[in-house]
Amino acid sequence: MASICTALIVFFITGASIILAYLNEKNRPYSAQDVFCNLQKQHGLGKTAVVKAMELLAQEGKIKEKMYGKQKIYFADQSQFRDVSDADLKAMDKQISELSAEVQTLTQSCRQLDTELKELNSSLTTEEMMAEIQELKAECSGYRERLEKIKSATNHVTPEEKEKVYKERDVYVKEWKKRKRLASDMMNAILEGYPKSKKEFLEEVGVETDEDCKVVLPTT
């Protein structure tokens, strides 16, 4: 039983020392909850132990305590710190400005390095590149074989045959346009005395237009 009490006392004193050092280092006001959250993970301090230790430190005058509404705020005893002159404050402001600029520079550098890292991670490795080269070589080889087969084929269309096909096509297209124009003229003449719409007329006689069949008249 005595050994357990001794261990608890040692733990309590150690926790108080950690909290006192933390408050003196940060030199800013904290609630017991803040100190617990900030130190619990690193030092494994329980919330009840933190609250008791801070109350004891305040009673001993090692830290200061103030009430803000219903919440107690604790902060380091300012009398332990030396007075700061205007020159010291200006020097601190200058140092803060320099450090802030350095932080900004380092942040930009980190972002650039992060971008480069992402690009490298998205790039192919040497092994992947070699595998892709082999695939491309195999694909090119297949294309060469197809090209050789096409070149060696005996059923090529001669320029004369090609020209003949194009001429026949022009004839058919012209005839198509001519017949379409004649049909349109005849239909317009009928519609002059027809009591219904053009659409109704076409449905009645069972005529489908190129547009109905989604056919586009080729250009010559």
- For residue 170, tell me if it sits in a domain: yes
The total of structural domains in the chain comes to 2
By percentage, how much of the chain surpasses pLDDT 90? 22
- Which residue's entry shows tokens 């045959």? 161
* Mean pLDDT of the 121-133 span: 86
Residue pair 1/26 in contact by the 8 Å Cβ criterion: no
* Mean pLDDT of the 130-154 span: 88
CATH of the domain at 32: 1.10.10.10
Q: Give the confidence band of 155 by pLDDT, cuts at 50, 70, 90.
A: confident
Of 27, 60, 80, the position where a domain reaches its end is 80
Residues 7-38 pLDDT 10s:
455 556 788 889 999 989 888 899 999 999 99
Question: Structural domain of residue 171, as residue ranges?
Answer: 161-205
The helix-helix angle for 159-191 and 198-205 (nearest 10°) equals 110
Q: Give the confidence band of 121 by pLDDT, cuts at 50, 70, 90.
A: confident
Q: Tell me the torsion sign for CA atoms 107, 109, 110, 112.
A: positive
CA–CA distance, 177 with 14 (Å, rounded to integer): 102
Of 56, 80, 104, the position where a domain reaches its end is 80
- For residue 184, tell me if it sits in a domain: yes
Q: What is the mean pLDDT of the chain?
A: 85
* Mean pLDDT of the 141-156 span: 84
- The SS3 call for residue 22 is helix
- For residue 141, tell me if it sits in a domain: no
- For residue 142, tell me if it sits in a domain: no
- For residue 219, tell me if it sits in a domain: no
Of 20, 47, 80, the position where a domain reaches its end is 80
CA 44 and chain centroid, separation: 37
DSSP secondary structure letters along 167-206: HHHHHHHHHHHHHHHHHHHHHHHHHTS-SS-HHHHHHHHT
* Mean pLDDT of the 191-201 span: 85
Q: 6 vs 202, which has greater pLDDT?
A: 202
- Tell me: pLDDT of 217 over 60: yes
202 membership: H or E segment, kind and range: helix 198-205
- Tell me: pLDDT of 90 over 70: yes
- Tell me: pLDDT of 216 over 60: yes
Q: Give the confidence band of 111 by pLDDT, cuts at 50, 70, 90.
A: very high
